Amino acid sequence: MAAPFIDELPQAAAIAAYISMGTEIQTLPLLRHILRSDRRVLVPRLGSGMEIGWSEIADVEELDQLTDMPRRASGGLRPQEPTDTVTLPPDALAEAACILVPAFAIDNRGIRLGRGAGWYDQALIHRDPQSTLLGICWPWEQREEPLPAHDHDVPVHGILTTDSFGLL
């Protein structure tokens, strides 16, 4: 649903996106579309704890070779990550014209609830202020009522679900 929006971004644009896991909407089809449209894809490298890093996925073949990461000491899952790429610093996010972020809920103001660890809140400090933030959630996670917000929350500019895409 977001393909037309993505296709309007400059050819040289980098797009930062996450690799879905668990019950999240599958992002791999969208990542394949982005790569086939000759745009750069940056994906998170979680490191340990709250470390922030990024890796560039160069092509669909590299996307297909993502590696399952070991569980955290707490037993929590980790998303797949590329293993044969350089980990870029946090400020690599500033290269992204569009940033796709996961959400468990997004309200009409663009406030989103994530997993609660604050990883994206920390990462978004390094974004280009002109970049477009798109939250991805299931249709039933789009909320009319305001969600709780904190000073460090960065509202998204649009919402992508399995049924719709719209800018706020």
pLDDT digits (tens, 9 = 90+) for 105-158: 999 999 999 876 778 888 999 999 999 999 999 999 999 999 999 888 899 999
User: What is residue 12's predicted lDDT score, i.e. its pLDDT?
Assistant: 80
Amino acid identity of residue 64, one-letter, is: D
- 2 carries a ligand binding annotation: no
For tokens 């996450």, name the residue: 18
Q: Are 17 and 42 in contact (CB under 8 A)?
A: yes
Question: DSSP string of 58-111?
Answer: -SHHHHHT-BPPPPPTTS-----B-SSSPPBPGGGGGGEEEEEEE-SEEETT--
- 123 carries a ligand binding annotation: no
Q: Residue 58 and residue 62: Cα distance in Å, rounded?
A: 7
At 122 the three-state DSSP class reads helix
Residue range 136-147, pLDDT digits in tens:
999 999 999 999
- Kindly tell me if the per-residue pLDDT of 68 is higher than 60: no
Closest CA to 93 of 83, 101, 81: 101
- 117 carries a ligand binding annotation: yes
- 160 carries a ligand binding annotation: no
DSSP 25: P
Query: How does strand 53-57 pair with strand 40-45?
Result: antiparallel
Structural domains in the chain, sorted by start: 2-167 (3.40.50.10420)
pLDDT mean over 43-71: 75
- 158 carries a ligand binding annotation: no
